[in-house]
């Protein structure tokens, strides 16, 4: 195919005028479409420093966008939990206690739920009462206290 038959060169009177006009019009439209599709949206210098713009496809709707946002949020939450567990102090979730009936000490120990443990001891010693010793502490410190007290 030569340039004249493709319409990329002016006809110069060698083809009928109507055909020449239609070829040039079609070629101009084709070139305009190619420039629209393949032309950069930003000048080359700006493209060097900025990433190309993200174009949302027509099929992507609200739900996929929300899923992406949820994934990003979950990543931030997980990262926060990892950092929190790495740099925070250990959980103080263990109680030290003694179980008394009147003035008599029946039992002592550690638990993470005082009311449940009191119900369990009341099966053996009805009318007894549990008393918390000190503050809540870590499990390892509570175990050391229990060994030291001989319970």
pLDDT at position 7, please?
Answer: 47
| 72 sits in which H/E element | helix 62-87
125 within 8 A of 106, measured Cβ to Cβ? yes
Q: At residue 91, does pLDDT exceed 70?
A: yes
> For residue 58, what pLDDT band results from cuts at 50, 70 and 90?
low
Domain borders along the chain are 8-48, 94-149
pLDDT at position 147, please?
Answer: 94
Q: How far apart are CA 130 and CA 118, in angstroms?
A: 6
pLDDT at position 95, please?
Answer: 96
* Mean pLDDT of the 11-38 span: 59
Could you read off the pLDDT of 101-141 as tens digits, one per residue? 888 998 999 999 999 999 999 998 898 999 999 999 999 99
């Amino acid at each position: 195919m030569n340039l004249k038959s493709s319409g990329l060169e002016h006809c110069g009177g060698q083809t009928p005028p109507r055909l020449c006009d239609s070829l040039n019009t079609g070629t101009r439209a084709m070139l305009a479409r190619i420039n629209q599709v393949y032309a950069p949206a930003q000048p080359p210098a700006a493209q060097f420093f900025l990433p190309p713009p993200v174009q949302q496809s027509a099929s992507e709707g609200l739900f996929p966008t929300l899923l992406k946002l949820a994934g990003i949020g979950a990543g931030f939450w997980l990262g926060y939990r990892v950092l929190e567990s790495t740099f925070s102090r250990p959980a103080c979730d263990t109680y030290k206690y003694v179980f008394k009936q009147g003035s008599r000490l029946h039992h002592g120990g550690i638990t993470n739920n005082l009311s449940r443990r009191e119900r369990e001891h009341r099966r053996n010693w009805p009318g007894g009462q549990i008393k918390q010793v000190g503050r809540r502490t870590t499990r390892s410190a509570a175990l050391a206290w229990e060994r030291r007290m001989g319970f």
